[in-house]
Amino acid sequence: MASNSSKHDKIVSDHKRSLFDNLQGKVLEISPGTGTNLPYYPKDIHWIGIEPNLHRHSSLRKQAEKLGLNIDLRIGNAEWLDAEDNSIDTVVSTLVLCSVPNIDYTLQAILRVLKPGGRFLFIEHVAAPQGSLLRQIQNTISPIWKVIGDGCHPDRETWAALGNAGFSSINYERFDAQLPIVSPHIIGVATK
């Protein structure tokens, strides 16, 4: 079990390193949680975190201080991003879109705050292919999973929502994070 989780960490950390490599300007992260992405960010960005859970704010501040990052923590949620229209260079979401109540509203909020040409970077777990055994399991377990998994939808077709949101371009690839139920992941960039 330990080798699987360390393998997963390695897979995801390599992806994060490449995805967050050229960040600059104003970067807004949706639901940064405990700050697991903070070590991957360049020190000279203007980082804004929209974290709805107030209990996480102090640990986020401590983590940022340890890393020498200046952060701007705000309260809000994925459907209501506390930022001005057309003001953000990059929005980041990792394992967030699975649990937002309305993914379409969330993607519209992201488009609203991004500058023209701004980028939305994401790493998200997604539904397995239609007709697969894993998809049948995801569909079956989804009602229970949402309750125990803080609103997480294991069978959400995030790529379809991204395709319908109105981004000028979307590039993503699939990878297997080797986790039970939520193994299929996508990583990519959507441009406003």
Q: Give the model's pLDDT for residue 7.
A: 61
Helix, strand or coil, per DSSP, at residue 183: coil
Q: What is the pTM of this model?
A: 0.92
| H or E segment and range at residue 186 | strand 184-191
DSSP letters, 26-71, are: EEEEE--TTTTTGGGS-TTSEEEEE-S-GGGHHHHHHHHHHHT--E
Spatial CB neighbours of 22, under 8 Å, sequence gap ≥ 6: none
Q: Give the model's pLDDT for residue 117.
A: 98
Q: How far is CA 181 from CA 5, 22, 87, in A?
A: 14, 32, 37
- Average of per-residue pLDDT across 59-86: 94
The CATH classification number of 2-191 equals: 3.40.50.150
Give the tokens for residue 91. 């929005």
Of 8-12, 43-47, 61-65, 150-154, the poorest mean pLDDT is in: 8-12
Q: How do the domains of the chain map onto residue ranges?
A: 2-191
Cα–Cα distance measured from residue 41 to residue 24, given in angstroms and rounded to the nearest whole number: 9
Question: Phi and psi dihedrals of 118, rounded to 5?
Answer: -65, 160
Query: Mean of the per-residue pLDDT values for the chain?
Result: 92
Share of the chain above pLDDT 90, in %: 80
Q: What would the pLDDT profile of 164-186 be if each residue is shown by its tens digit?
A: 999 999 999 999 988 889 999 99
Q: What would the pLDDT profile of 26-41 be if each residue is shown by its tens digit?
A: 999 999 988 999 999 9
Cα–Cα distance measured from residue 75 to residue 73, given in angstroms and rounded to the nearest whole number: 7
Written as one letter, the residue type at 48 is: I
Query: Crossing angle of helices 103-113/158-165, nearest 10°?
Result: 40
Q: Give the model's pLDDT for residue 141.
A: 94
Q: Give the model's pLDDT for residue 8.
A: 64
Q: What would the pLDDT profile of 4-24 be if each residue is shown by its tens digit?
A: 455 667 778 988 999 998 899
Give the tokens for residue 161. 């929502």
